[in-house]
Amino acid sequence: MKVPFFLILIAILFGAMEIDAQNYYWVAFHDKDNSPYSLLFPEEFLSSKALQRRRNQNIAIDSLDLPVNPNYVQQTLALGATLKHSSKWLNGITVKASADSFVEEALLLPFVKEVQLTKRSTQMKSAFNKFAEPECSGSDLDIDTAVYGESVHQVAQLNGQFLHNNGFRGEEMYIAVFDAGFYKADQYPAFDSLWINRQIAGIKDFVAPKENFFDGHYHGMSVLSIMGGNIAGKIQGTAPKATYWLVRSEDPGSEFLIEEDNWVAAAEFADSVGVDIINSSLGYFTFDDPAMDHTYDDMDGKTTRVAKAANIAVAKGMLVFASAGNEGRENNPWKYIISPSDGDSVIAVGAVNKDGIPAPFTSRGPASDGDVKPNVSAMGWNTIVQRSSGTIGTGNGTSYSSPVIAGAAACLWQANLLATASQVKNAIERSANLYLTPDTLSGYGIPDLKIADKILKTAIFEDRDTSETWLVYPNPASDYIVLQKQKITLNKKVQIAFYSLDGKLLKKEEKNDAARIMLKDLYSLPRGLLILQIISDDETETLKIAISP
């Protein structure tokens, strides 16, 4: 029997594809021995912004900050692989390599700890739309105010307007938005102010860097609108004056473990560019390849790579907010939170409506190790967002509740610049309405940022060193500060100097000694954290002071 030529051609082509098929692998290393880098010279491998955040929060430089040993990378790539990502935090690399020989050869290298398949090149992409919004009953809101428009409820539910009204709208705070795409975020009017005021710090694509960044999926664009959107009378984001990094770490067309590797790379990038807050309206539990699936036992906050990286990001001084997931309906076999929201240090965000009722789809806690999850909740049921159609409308999902709080947290942190990431997280949780009786749907409940602000200011005041001669207040300050003596001392003169964190002298004054000294007209100083030095006859005191807008 003669076989048609076109069938022979198809067979040849598919055979060639199998021979040339290349998969993606995670390659973990045992150590960072014999690295050319040293902790004594962190400026060789950490950016100035990353170093500044560590100084601000008294975070030590450690081995996690050291890059992956370049010799290990070179020897691994010499096996015929190409580099996709490198992770210093998890000490490994993601590579693209031939399916047959690479794994065996890589495992023979003495420094290789593990090789794991993260994406199979020949596997069909999933037809499942992982960004489909959960259906939920409810009507559009009908309140229209001059500033917030219909988004007033998602802001007011957290008492976010308290911070806005006091001048804290996210200025000088940097937020990284990890998502699947930012369709027309460069065109829609909701984002005009971000572009005009240069509040878009940059874009970064860890999936397909050569594609047009603003032609992709809409999901990240809608998420961004909840924090940074601004159309008077229609939508006002929870952090309209923050600065944003738009980061694509998610491939909306498929679901493989490599997307966790993308997330890890994105988090390390966020660290390097000085980001304060990460919002991740993404999560992982099942994949197109069932062999990669996570189990509920994996949701213990320290098993998945993405949870490990999220915890490290917090340890490096960032806040990480993550969607709890939309798997909570009774008929869903999973029901639980998804990673990285399970991370021990991550703020997992559940969804409620404007009345505080948990959405029927919101994923449930606790984490498999018993930790309270979600940590808190915000409006993710009929949230006001910029839609892909170009209109302002409503959307459902913990993808939308997470940025509500992430943006508000930027304003809270701006109002309390001396606070550490862990202090801000603690204050947000303690301010929530269910803090004493957390449950599996809303966690600690809905935060009240006015209460959180008071908690932070009290914590910062109590942390002061009472053995010092001078008490300085207010801190943060705007146009004046007061230096009040806590000890009885006699000095002829007191010299007062302000320095930037890198040691540059910004302002210097000399005052007669007194029990109480006021310094006015601080408007000439740059906004943000500064070093205040007080020199008297017998001692020198140095402390940090925050200058707010």
386-439: per-residue pLDDT in tens?
A: 999 999 999 999 999 999 999 999 999 999 998 999 999 999 999 999 999 999
Q: Count how many residues are written for the chain.
A: 549
And the tokens for 39? Answer: 């902790």
And the tokens for 533? Answer: 């030095």
Give yes or no on whether 14-119 and 149-460 have one common fold. Answer: no
For position 126, what pLDDT does the model report?
54
Tell me the longest C-alpha to C-alpha distance in the chain: 110
Read off the pLDDT of each residue in 56-81 and give the average, rounded to a whole number. 96
For position 139, what pLDDT does the model report?
42
The whole-angstrom separation of Cα 436 and Cα 445 is 10
119-128 pLDDT tens trace: 987 655 554 5
Q: Is the pLDDT of residue 131 over 80?
A: no
Computed on alpha carbons and rounded to an integer, the radius of gyration of the chain in Å comes to 26
311-332 pLDDT tens trace: 999 999 999 999 999 999 989 9
Which residues are annotated as catalytic?
179, 219, 399
Average pLDDT, the chain: 90
Q: In angstroms, what CA-CA distances link 129 with 99, 133, 151, 429, 458? A: 28, 9, 27, 33, 46
Read off the pLDDT of each residue in 349-353 and give the average, rounded to a whole number. 98
8 Å CB contact between 359 and 347 = no
Write the Ramachandran bin of 319: left for phi over 0, alpha for psi from -120 to 50, otherwise beta.
Answer: beta
Q: Which CATH class is domain 470-547?
A: mainly beta
Residue spans of beta strands (DSSP E) within 192-242 = 200-205, 230-231, 235-236
The whole-angstrom separation of Cα 470 and Cα 541 is 8
Q: What amino acid is encoded at 30 in this protein?
A: H
4-30 pLDDT tens trace: 544 444 444 444 444 456 899 999 999
Q: Which CATH architecture has domain 149-460?
A: 3-Layer(aba) Sandwich (3.40)
Q: Is the pLDDT of residue 263 over 90?
A: yes
Q: In angstroms, what CA-CA distances link 406 with 54, 92, 297, 372, 400? A: 21, 29, 27, 19, 10
Q: In angstroms, what CA-CA distances link 296 with 263, 304, 329? A: 20, 11, 16
pTM, 2 dp:
0.85
Q: Which CATH class is domain 14-119?
A: alpha beta
Confidence of residue 515 (pLDDT cuts 50, 70, 90): confident
For position 125, what pLDDT does the model report?
52
8 Å CB contact between 238 and 407 = yes
The domain locations on the chain are 14-119, 149-460, 470-547
The whole-angstrom separation of Cα 479 and Cα 543 is 18
For position 542, what pLDDT does the model report?
84
